[in-house]
Amino acid sequence: MAWLFEMEDVSYTYPGGIEPALDHITLRIPRRKRCALLGHNGCGKSTLFLHINGIYQPEHGDLKWNGEPYLYRRSYLAELRRKVGLVFQDPEQQLIANTVAEDISYGLCNAGMSDAEVARKVDEALVRFGLDDLRERPVHHLSLGQKKRVALAGVMVLRPELLLLDEPTAYLDRLHTKLLLEELETIHRDEGTTMLMATHDIDLAYEWADWVFVMHKGRLVLEGTPEEVFKRREVLEEMQLSVPLLFDVWEALDLSFFNGTLKRPRTAAELRYQLERYATENKRKMG
Ligand SMILES: Nc1ncnc2c1ncn2[C@@H]1O[C@H](COP(=O)(O)OP(=O)(O)OP(=O)(O)O)[C@@H](O)[C@H]1O
């Protein structure tokens, strides 16, 4: 089965809402992929996440995990939420314990691990997320960016099969954005965790994702590899969404005549490397 999660023709309107937040949406998350979810404020990204981890039940349509339909029973949902880790956009919604270490240990204790195992995993997470110095700090004394990292650590320590990240880089500075992406890369490489990241950062989506979804007004309007999605410039522009800077630069350079041997760069470093290759090859051809 290629899909870890499937959503078929799902609709949902909030109580008192006029427009549906999800409007007959069909979306499948490919196993082991890093997926980005793009779309304007209010297009339904958070509502989608809350359906995937079973907090909301759709009014219409079906959800499947590993090809099996969701069951809205307490025991099923508890198990589902161990497999689907959700990092909220606003860390205030996520942090519950007094100190940083206690907060990270919360899910592990609930999963029934021994005290020694919990302590070992918490120590490891504190180091991995650069939080060791803050271990005994009361959560309400942290900066927003620090809270965000604690929330991430508390979810990642549970090693979910699907990691849902709602704007994970919001409130993070450059250094901590880089550290977060490195951490996601390690988890993805070592554990094959499937990831779905909602983001407004188109350049980040282009650099990071293997698969991109674009939502608009509760519907899925585009999906595919980053190349496939960002080639649909007219559709994106109609929704007032931009194309990644590097994608634009590469199109403008138009080096397609160059034997097709140059790989489309996803990062500034890759662009530099491809341009150097191009310059060397050109020099050789010119004699
Ligand atoms: N608790 C709620 N009650 C009523 N309406 C809601 C509620 N939460 C969200 N909505 C509405 O549902 C729609 C989808 O909201 P949602 O939060 O899913 O969007 P989003 O894509 O995550 O937005 P953002 O990028 O701003 O986080 C919006 O029109 C929003 O106003």
151-206 pLDDT, tens digit each: 989 998 998 999 999 999 887 888 888 888 888 898 899 889 999 999 999 999 99
Note whether residue 202 is domain-resident: yes
Number of domains in the chain: 1
Residue 60, domain extent = 3-253
Give me the mean pLDDT over the 11-18 stretch: 96
- 3-state DSSP call for residue 6? strand
Atom of ligand 1 nearest to the CA of 47: 18
In a domain, 236, yes or no: yes
Both structure tokens of 236: 């994106």
pLDDT at 76: 95
Residue 266 domain-assigned?
no
Q: Is the pLDDT of residue 124 over 80?
A: yes
Residue 97 lies in a domain: yes
Q: Which atom of ligand 1 is nearest to the CA of 40?
A: 25
Whose CA is closest to 60, among 88, 24, 36? 24
0.95 surpassed by complex ipTM: yes
pTM over 0.95: no
Domain assignment present for 258: no
Q: Name which residue sits closest to atom 3 of ligand 1, judged by CA.
A: 14
**Which residue among 10, 13, 14 is best mutated to probe the pocket of ligand 1, counting the most ligand atoms within 8 A of its Cβ?**
14
41 lines ligand 1 (CB under 6 A): yes
Cα distance between residue 146 and residue 12, in whole Å = 33
Percent of the chain with pLDDT over 90: 66
Please work out whether the CB of residue 21 comes within 6 Å of at least one atom of ligand 1.
yes
Specify if 262 maps to a domain: no
CA of 13 to the centre of ligand 1 (A): 10
- Judge whether 271 lies within some domain: no
Residue 268 lies in a domain: no
Question: Looking at residue 258, what is its pLDDT?
Answer: 63
Here the tokens at position 245 are 């800077």
Tens digit of pLDDT for each residue in 53-96? Answer: 999 999 999 999 999 999 999 999 999 998 999 999 888 888 98
Pairing of strands 34-38, 194-198: parallel
* 18 Cβ below 6 A of ligand 1: no
The CATH number covering residue 113 comes to 3.40.50.300
